[in-house]
Amino acid sequence: MLTIFLYFILRYFILIVLEPEKQTGSAGAVAGGVIGALLAIIIIVLLLIFIMVRRGKMKNPIERLQSLSTKRNKYIDHDLSNVEKRLNNTGIPKSYNNRAYSQEFDDDVYYAENETPLRYQIVRSRITFEEEIARGKFAIIYKAKYCRDNSSTTVVAKTLKENPTQADIETMHAKVNFYTIKIGEHPNVLKFIGVVDDDVLGRFMILEYCENGPLKDYLKTNKHRVNDDMHEKLFRFACGICKGMNYLASQGVVHRRLAARNILLTFLLETKITGFGPEPRDNDGDSKNERIPIKWMAPECIKTTKYATEKSDVWSYGVLLWEIFSMGESPYEGIRSNELESKLKRGERLKKPEHSDDVFYKIMKKCWQYESGKRPNFEEIHDELQTLFTGNIDGDDYYYTQGGLYDNRKA
């Protein structure tokens, strides 16, 4: 029926417009006929679009991206299948489950609208997926290869989950903006390598890969192997994290989630800070659903991290030091989260961990001043750490001098 109707309308249009000499009516009648024909055609086109949308043959851009994302498994399987078969046949275990990459507690969004600088743009063909590492709230984390200049580098690809929502898409865009505009590069901050825009997976991030995984896991694994060499590593972890946090503070970045689980270790055991994100929107008044790691938070941030500052991160750094020198123990063991606020207000603090000396425990207690204004900032902590080491802790040739530890490099 629609086809027959369309035929007569088009025929009428041809008679009026293309063969006007055959018409005997006035010029006004001809013009009216032309307008009527055009309106009829427009109505037909709109009707066709409506029918196609109802039948699922036409989708808006967001639906199209979501539909494409459902094909991601087959798409990524092209990269993963051979690697997975090889792993299964050889019995080699898959990579560590790196929760830090997933930024589990991060709900913040950086809302600046900016194009990705050219130096951060990566062609899709240069990235080959190897295996899935972890899944976060809105993203899937893959171990991948980045091929360039006739060589390949192991990296992490952080992609959107299947069927992403509009909020997920905006979050990915915001995180890319945050890294490219605000973070920059520092030896103790996880490196943002670039971004890929893909027709099927959408936009995804390429990040530095850290072979030794989260600091939390490393500490727990080596809990019963503490010797002088391990003590030296613990001191270096503490200093490296302080340097990285001092840099982030200088960039105006508040971490809000500083803990051992959000510190990664390279194959050289260099510390890399991750797990932080863009600042929340000013109009985010409802914080009831915010997931807060209470036992790492300063008293002023136990209910919400919206007003967190560098001094709030300093409190968390003190708890992180406690994690380091307790070899990965959980803080405030046996104390419920809802009991902690009142205990902190009464002056209760974590006891000195087993492998800490008095000097580092004194730094921890400074970080745990109840009033944020009485806590040192990261630059002041960094300066204090300088006095504990021979050489410069910003270089490679330093070692801890407290407690008379012997250093093989000195011999």
Report the 10 Å Cβ neighbour count for 292. Answer: 17
pTM of the model: 0.72
Q: Are residues 157 and 273 in the same domain?
A: no
CATH label of the domain that carries residue 182? 3.30.200.20
Is 328 contained in some domain? yes
Confidence label for 22 from pLDDT (cuts 50, 70 and 90): low
On the question of pLDDT at 296 being above 90, the answer is yes
Per-position DSSP letters for 269-327, written without gaps between them? --EEE----PPPPTT----TT----GGGS-GGGSS-STT--HHHHHHHHHHHHHHHHTT
Is 50 contained in some domain? yes
284 or 379, higher pLDDT = 379
Mention every residue, 6+ apart, whose C-beta is less than 8 A from residue 180.
114, 116, 117, 120, 192, 195
Provide the residue range defining the domain that includes 108: 64-208
The last residue of one of the domains, among 178, 208, 238, is: 208
Is 230 contained in some domain? yes
Query: Do residues 201 and 75 lie in contact, with contact meaning Cβ atoms separated by under 8 Å?
Result: yes
Q: Residue 381: name the closest of 234, 245, 257 by CA.
A: 245
> Residue 139 belongs to what H/E stretch?
strand 139-148
Is 409 contained in some domain? no
Q: Are residues 268 and 359 in the same domain?
A: yes
Query: Do residues 209 and 156 lie in contact, with contact meaning Cβ atoms separated by under 8 Å?
Result: yes
Q: Are residues 186 and 83 in the same domain?
A: yes
Q: Are residues 117 and 36 in the same domain?
A: no
DSSP 8-class letter at 24:
-
Q: Are residues 37 and 77 in the same domain?
A: no
Phi-psi region of 206 (alpha: psi -120 to 50; beta: other; left: phi over 0): beta
What is the rounded average pLDDT of the residues 205-220? Answer: 97
Q: Are residues 47 and 85 in the same domain?
A: no
Return the minimum-mean-pLDDT range out of 35-39, 43-47, 368-372: 35-39
On the question of pLDDT at 62 being above 50, the answer is no
Q: Are residues 187 and 221 in the same domain?
A: no
Q: Are residues 166 and 228 in the same domain?
A: no
- State which amino acid sits at residue 292: I
Show the tokens assigned to 237. 């972890």
Q: Are residues 91 and 160 in the same domain?
A: yes
> Residue 263 belongs to what H/E stretch?
strand 263-265
What is the rounded average pLDDT of the residues 382-390? Answer: 84
Return the minimum-mean-pLDDT range out of 72-76, 146-150, 206-210, 377-381: 72-76
Is 248 contained in some domain? yes
Mention every residue, 6+ apart, whose C-beta is less than 8 A from residue 211.
154, 265, 266, 267
Is 411 contained in some domain? no
Return the minimum-mean-pLDDT range out of 110-114, 180-184, 196-200, 202-206: 110-114
Query: Do residues 215 and 251 lie in contact, with contact meaning Cβ atoms separated by under 8 Å?
Result: no
The last residue of one of the domains, among 157, 188, 208, is: 208
152-198, pLDDT tens digit by residue?
A: 999 999 999 988 888 888 888 889 999 988 899 999 999 999 999 99
What is the rounded average pLDDT of the residues 299-327? Answer: 96
Query: Do residues 264 and 156 lie in contact, with contact meaning Cβ atoms separated by under 8 Å?
Result: no
What is the DSSP pairing of strand 271-273 with strand 399-400? unpaired
Q: Residue 233: name the closest of 241, 375, 153 by CA.
A: 241
71-105, pLDDT tens digit by residue?
A: 565 556 566 655 444 444 434 334 444 444 443 33
Query: Do residues 175 and 278 lie in contact, with contact meaning Cβ atoms separated by under 8 Å?
Result: yes
Q: Are residues 225 and 367 in the same domain?
A: yes
CATH label of the domain that carries residue 354? 1.10.510.10
Q: Are residues 117 and 49 in the same domain?
A: no
- State which amino acid sits at residue 14: I
Query: Do residues 298 and 238 lie in contact, with contact meaning Cβ atoms separated by under 8 Å?
Result: no
The last residue of one of the domains, among 14, 38, 58, is: 58
Show the tokens assigned to 19. 């063969």
What is the predicted pLDDT for the residue at 286? 45
Domain count, the chain: 3
Is 410 contained in some domain? no
Q: Are residues 276 and 196 in the same domain?
A: no
Number of DSSP helices (H) and strands (E) in the chain, helices first: 12, 9
DSSP 8-class letter at 66:
H
Classify the C-alpha dihedral 326-330-331-332 as positive or negative.
negative
